[in-house]
Copies of this chain bind each other. A is one copy, B any other.
Amino acid sequence: MSEQATTGLSIHPVPGLPEFAPGDDVAGAIAGAAPWLADGDVVVVTSKIVSKAEGRLVPVPPGADREQLRLQAVEDEAVRVVARRGPLAIVQTQQGWVVAAAGIDASNVGQDALVLLPEDGDASARRLRDRLGELLGVDVAVVVSDTFGRTWREGLTDVAVGSAGIRALTDFRGTVDAHGNRLETTRVAVVDEIASAADLVKGKLAGVPVAVVRGLRVQQPDPDDGTRPLVRLPQDDLFPYGARDLVGSRVPADELVPRPGELAAVADAFRVASGALPEFPVVFRYGGEGDGVVDVHLTDALSTTTALNLGALLGAAVVQLHADGWTTRWEPVGTPGGSSLVGRLWLGTTPT
């Protein structure tokens, strides 16, 4: 008596897949287990089986300390440590992902190995997509998924670490809603939502590493940049450092390259530092010709306290500048001959 629900989309598990080892044909196994794949399907493949087949493994010899090897592998895979607390390291990988433990996992693999993320998840996805097309004559999209945590929220969700044949971001910017409002900032990470949806059927323990999402209107990318559009660029990152790494500099000072805007950046940094450290009052000024260097003058009467107060603001400002992506180099002058100039702060950035 109730009318039937209209199915927007359906998510199908692909059971019956074998354990994978280096050199195995993942696409062939999927084609055998899911001969029903059809044009427009999105095949979501857990990164772990891709990594196993691609040999992205760290061997754990008998008797070796598996946890110690895991921690070392995290350091090896990291291009940048974003935060650290005890054995937990949140790092950026060479693929650009910021993820706990570099995405390395010790579960769902034999005790004799650790599994790294695929070296290039987009290339992995493209190979799977192409091979499924050859084997089954279907045009499917592929998403390679992994399980990531999130800042400020408990619980993990699956996200995409590789994709092919589907636009990673759906861009609604510039479109207009039914009320006449322009949507300025809505870009949906569709492949991440697909990875999460697929995880609802794959489960964590059931041994079902592949699921198929059917019923999406897949937008074909051209060119196909895979998941690259999901990587946030440094200039857009408001959280380059966690609690443990607040005062680190982004690049070595000897690679310092001038970039415009250093005086405004210093002014902003001193403003923030002064506002947050009101117990270090001092009268000072800064300026200069604006070519990558800012002179810092103590104009208060010189004393231990005034010099220390200026230093505190300078140290806090430098931390602020580092977090904003600047590299700094401080050259002390030390007020020789009664000059008010205490030093020069060089500012730059890394070559792009």
Query: A-side interface residues toward B, CB under 8 Å?
Result: 2-13, 15, 34-36, 82-83, 85, 90, 92, 97-98, 106-111, 147, 150-159, 168-170, 172, 175, 177-181, 183, 186-190, 192-194, 196-197, 199-201, 204-205, 207, 211-216, 229-232, 236-240, 242-249, 253, 272-273, 275-277, 279-280, 298, 302-305, 307-320, 322-324, 329-330, 332, 334-335, 342-343
Contact = CB atoms under 8 A, between A and B. Distances in A.
A3 B12 CA distance: 13
Nearest to A107: B181
Contacts of A147: 186, 188
A299 to B, nearest CB: 13
B238 A205 contact: no
Given A177-B108, A200-B9, A277 B247 contact: yes
A158 B201 CA distance: 18
Contact of A330 (B2, B4, B207, B280): B280
B188 A35 contact: no
Given A239-B243, A305-B332, A8 B276 contact: no
Given A9-B10, A243-B320, 10 more contacts: A2-B36, A6-B15, A11-B197, A106-B181, A151-B238, A155-B230, A183-B205, A190-B200, A247-B276, A305-B342
Given A243-B323, A276-B248, A315-B277, A342 B5 contact: no
A215 B239 CA distance: 38
Contacts of A242: 238-239
23 contacts: A2-B35, A9-B200, A107-B177, A111-B180, A150-B151, A151-B237, A152-B237, A155-B192, A192-B196, A193-B196, A197-B197, A237-B243, A245-B272, A246-B246, A246-B316, A247-B320, A276-B319, A305-B343, A311-B312, A312-B312, A315-B317, A316-B319, A319-B319
B247 A36 contact: no
Contacts of A304: 298, 302, 307, 334-335, 342
A308 B310 contact: yes
Interface SS majority for chain A: mixed
Nearest to A309: B311
A156 B12 CA distance: 25
Contacts of A309: 311, 332
Contact of A157 (B8, B11, B188): B188
Contacts of A97: 152
B239 A151 contact: yes
B5 A279 contact: no
A166 to B, nearest CB: 12
A204 B188 contact: yes
Given A155-B230, A189-B156, A323 B240 contact: no
